[in-house]
């Protein structure tokens, strides 16, 4: 189809095909000037072919992507038959910019084409969805890394797939790899407690606010408030996703208050 492109296209069937194409097609000369624009490219950009013909293709590229667009055009010019695909913003006639994925192909050596063909498609909606997903992932990662609670995902009776910064700090590890060098059971002071939690997760699919005594890397212990759910991953495997909050100081404070309360009660009884 590209081989039939000329500066003047007279074939009515080809024109009809181009009008129905979802991708825009533009033909450049070696100076980067537009010598042909398909009807679909007009639909995508909003510009009429008379407004594009004879103009530099770079005049439609967003200023932030002009440098990479120029470099890619130069790369394609260096080798006959070569092509390159990249993403950039394209100026729309209404004044806004749309995201497109463009493929430049060098057909200057082909006398029936005699130019550089650009196939491009509007990916604005896709790019927006990708950016929103990336933003959500970044937000979730920032929350996970800055929250004081330990957050984890592990395979039952196997390794941890993920731990956040809070997990590493609470247990005294530096990296996920270091965590996985230790048997998961070693993180529990009482292995029987671990087994009971595992069995309930398997049966009930969740546990909530369980007080568990854990062991840190250095051997010291702490009391953690643990919640976890059993979930099935996209790979079909079962995972335990959970959180652990260090409540050691809280428990110590509670114990002191209880002791103080008992002391006061004893004194009151003595006074009576």
54-101 pLDDT, tens digit per residue, is 999 999 999 999 999 999 999 999 999 999 999 999 999 999 999 999
pLDDT category at 205 given cuts 50, 70, 90 is: very high
pLDDT category at 117 given cuts 50, 70, 90 is: very high
- For residue 13, what are the contacts with CB-CB under 8 A and spacing of at least 6? none
Q: What is the pTM of this model?
A: 0.54
pLDDT category at 22 given cuts 50, 70, 90 is: low
Nearest-angstrom CA–CA distance, 186 and 194: 10
Edge-to-edge strand ranges of the sheet holding 34-37? 34-37, 24-28, 115-122, 97-107, 83-91
Nearest-angstrom CA–CA distance, 213 and 190: 7
Q: Is the pLDDT of residue 10 over 70?
A: no
3-state secondary structure of 159: coil
Name the nearest CA neighbour of 215 among 223, 207, 205.
223
Identify any residues that bridge with 223 across adjacent strands, giving them in sequence order.
213
The pLDDT of residue 111: 87
Tokens of 251: 């428990």
The pLDDT of residue 42: 87
Q: Is the pLDDT of residue 8 over 80?
A: no
**Contact (Cβ atoms closer than 8 angstroms) between residue 56 and residue 73:** no
**Contact (Cβ atoms closer than 8 angstroms) between residue 23 and residue 123:** no
Distance of CA 44 to the CA centre of its chain: 28
pLDDT category at 245 given cuts 50, 70, 90 is: very high
pLDDT category at 221 given cuts 50, 70, 90 is: very high
Q: DSSP letters along 128-156, please? A: HHHHHHHHHHHHHHHHHHH-SSEEEEE-T
Name the nearest CA neighbour of 44 among 78, 71, 19, 64.
19
Q: Is the pLDDT of residue 5 over 50?
A: no
Q: How many CB atoms lie within 10 A of CB 59?
A: 12
**Contact (Cβ atoms closer than 8 angstroms) between residue 222 and residue 250:** no
The pLDDT of residue 86: 96
Name the nearest CA neighbour of 45 among 79, 94, 87.
94
Nearest-angstrom CA–CA distance, 50 and 108: 23
Q: Which tens digits make up the pLDDT trace of 166-199?
A: 999 999 999 999 999 999 999 999 999 999 999 9
The pLDDT of residue 171: 97
Mean confidence (pLDDT) of the chain: 87
Q: Is the pLDDT of residue 21 over 70?
A: no
The pLDDT of residue 133: 86
Nearest-angstrom CA–CA distance, 258 and 271: 20
């Amino acid at each position: 189809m590209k081989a039939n492109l000329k500066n003047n296209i007279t074939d009515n069937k080809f024109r009809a095909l181009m009008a129905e194409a979802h991708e825009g097609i533009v033909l450049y000369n070696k100076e980067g000037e537009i010598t042909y624009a398909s009807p679909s490219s007009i639909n995508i950009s909003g510009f009429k072919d008379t407004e594009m013909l004879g103009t530099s293709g770079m005049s439609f590229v967003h200023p932030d992507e002009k440098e990479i667009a120029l470099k890619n055009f130069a790369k394609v010019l260096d080798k006959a038959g070569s092509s390159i695909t990249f993403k950039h913003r394209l100026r729309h006639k209404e004044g806004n910019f749309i995201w497109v994925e463009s493929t430049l192909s060098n057909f200057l050596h082909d006398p029936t084409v005699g130019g550089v063909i650009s196939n491009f498609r509007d990916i604005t909606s896709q790019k927006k969805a990708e950016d929103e997903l990336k933003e959500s992932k970044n937000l979730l990662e920032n929350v996970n890394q800055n929250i004081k609670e330990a957050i984890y995902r592990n395979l039952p009776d196997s390794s941890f797939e993920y731990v956040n910064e809070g997990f590493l700090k609470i247990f005294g590890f530096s990296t996920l790899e270091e965590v996985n060098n230790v048997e998961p059971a070693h993180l529990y002071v009482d292995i029987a407690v671990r087994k009971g939690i595992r069995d309930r997760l398997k049966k009930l699919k969740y546990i909530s606010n369980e007080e568990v005594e854990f062991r840190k890397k250095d051997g010291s212990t702490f009391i953690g408030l643990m919640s976890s759910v059993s979930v099935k991953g996209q790979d079909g495997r079962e995972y335990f996703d959970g959180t652990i909050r260090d409540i050691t100081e809280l428990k110590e404070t509670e114990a002191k208050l209880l002791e103080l309360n008992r002391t006061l009660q004893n004194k009151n009884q003595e006074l009576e």
